[in-house]
Amino acid sequence: MAMAEEAMEIDVPASTTTNMKDDDLFKAAESGNLEVFQRLAEDQLQLNRARSIRNEDSRSLLHVAAAAGHHQIVCILGAGVDPSVSGVNSSDEEGWTPLHSAVSSGKDNVVEVLLQAGADVSMANKGGRTALHYAASKGRLNIAQILISHGAKVNQKDKFGCTPLHRAASAGHSQLCELLIDDGADVDATDKTGCFTTSEAWCRFGL
C-alpha cells in the first residue's frame, strides 16, 4: 500500500490531512476518529482519494467504518456522491460490500445510510450470499425488514443453494422466518443437495 513520505499522527491537531498515511486513516475509520474525516471533508480531492484507498484485504475506509458502526464517518464517506465515487458497492477480496459488513455487525443506522447512498441490496459475495442472507442467519429482524423494503430478494440462493429462509430456519430465528414467508419466501425451496427444505429445517431445529 502506498504511503506518504511525511505523515502526521492522528492525534496531532492540524488544519490538513493531506500527508496522513493510509494506515492512519484506516485506524481512524476503525476507532471512530470523526475529526479526521471532518477535516477530509473540507477538501474534496483529499476526500475522494481517501474513498479510493484499500488495505491488504481490499477493504475500503467505508468497509471499515461500516463494520465498526461509525454512522457519521459513513455519512461523510458514502453520502451525497455517485456510488462509483463513494465506493459504496465496492467489494473486498471475499466479495463483501460495506453493506454486508454493516448488516453482519448489526448496525441498523449504518445500513440505512448505505442504502440511501446507493448500496445495491442484491449484491452477493463470493459465497453467493447477499446482505439479507446475513441478516437472516444472525437474526437481525429490523435490518431484514429494512433490506426487504429496499427490494432485497427473499428467494435469492447462495452458492450452496440456500435462501435467506434456509439460513434463518437453520439458525432458529422463528420471527425472521415468519417475516420472510410473509414477504414471499418459498418454504419448499431446496438447497443444492435437493433435500434440505425449510420444513425440514423447522423440524430439525424445533421451530
Domains defined along the chain, listed by start: 1-120 (1.25.40.20), 129-207 (1.25.40.20)
Give residue 190's pLDDT. Answer: 87
Q: Which residues of the chain have pLDDT under 50?
A: 1-15
Give residue 5's pLDDT. Answer: 34
Give residue 9's pLDDT. Answer: 40
Angle in degrees, 0-180, between the axes of helices 61-68 and 44-52, rounded to the nearest 10: 80
Distance, CA of 98 to CA of 83 (rounded, Å): 12
Give residue 194's pLDDT. Answer: 74
Give residue 108's pLDDT. Answer: 96
Distances from the Cα of 9 to the Cαs of 12, 16, 21, 53, 82, in angstroms?
Answer: 6, 12, 9, 18, 31
Give residue 188's pLDDT. Answer: 86
CB of 136 within 8 A of CB of 164?
Answer: yes
Total residues belonging to the chain: 207
Give residue 185's pLDDT. Answer: 93
